[in-house]
Chains A and B, each alone.
Chain A
């Protein structure tokens, strides 16, 4: 149903683990985004990629490392996370100023 696919849907990781979130868009869009949504908080923009070049890093800690190998794929590499990093991580894509389409998100729990 969705043109933006995220995996995994759920992830539990320890503070010393390294994991990666994957996002793929099948819409031919030129921009991709990572957002974080903590409980009862608004969506926070983390990273923006335009034509696979990073154009915005919204003061995100270095324990989050994005990678965009091409216009259709976006990764978020995670290492040495903290419990407060537990949240819903949403990937989105858009074509220029048109509406953004979201993946279903990865619900991350850091233990």
Chain B
């Protein structure tokens, strides 16, 4: 089983739609959780951290369920500019903290 699993998509949605991405992780000792965004041929950039209590930033909401080892990202009112690959990241400790990336979920928002 991969450490971090995501549905690669693509998710093809119209502007204004609500879209949800899911991610599962295998290491129960994982300590930090993030969503990153990666545009084509660019480096990944932090979108938001994920906490058990939930985290909301404008149109984006992230949730963590430690019992199920499951992370989600909800995007409301999708914009064309939201088109990108969304990466689920789980940081485990192995002497040092090691960010492990899922393969990413591709989102295409169309007019």
Contacts and interface: CB of A to CB of B under 8 A. Distances in A.
Interface string B66-91: 00000000000000000000010101
**B contact patch SS:** strand
A56 B94 contact: yes
Given A48-B96, A50-B96, A98-B32, A43 B43 contact: no
A31 B103 contact: no
Contact of B93 (A41, A90, A94, A97): A97
B4 to A, nearest CB: 9
Contacts of A104: 42-43
Contact of A42 (B31, B34, B101): B101
Interface in A14-49: 31, 33, 35, 41-43, 45, 48
Number of chain B interface residues as a range? 20 to 34
Contacts of A99: 32, 34, 46, 49
Contacts of B101: 35, 42-43, 45
18 contacts: A35-B101, A41-B103, A42-B104, A45-B98, A45-B99, A48-B96, A50-B96, A56-B98, A88-B41, A94-B91, A94-B97, A94-B99, A97-B91, A97-B93, A99-B34, A102-B44, A104-B42, A105-B43
A55 interface: yes
Q: Which of B42, B99, B100 has the most CB of A within 10 A?
A: B99
A56 B42 contact: no
Interface in B24-75: 31-32, 34, 41-46, 49
Given A43-B87, A90-B43, A96 B102 contact: no
A41 B97 CA distance: 23
B108 to A, nearest CB: 15
A99 B34 CA distance: 7
A97 B31 contact: yes
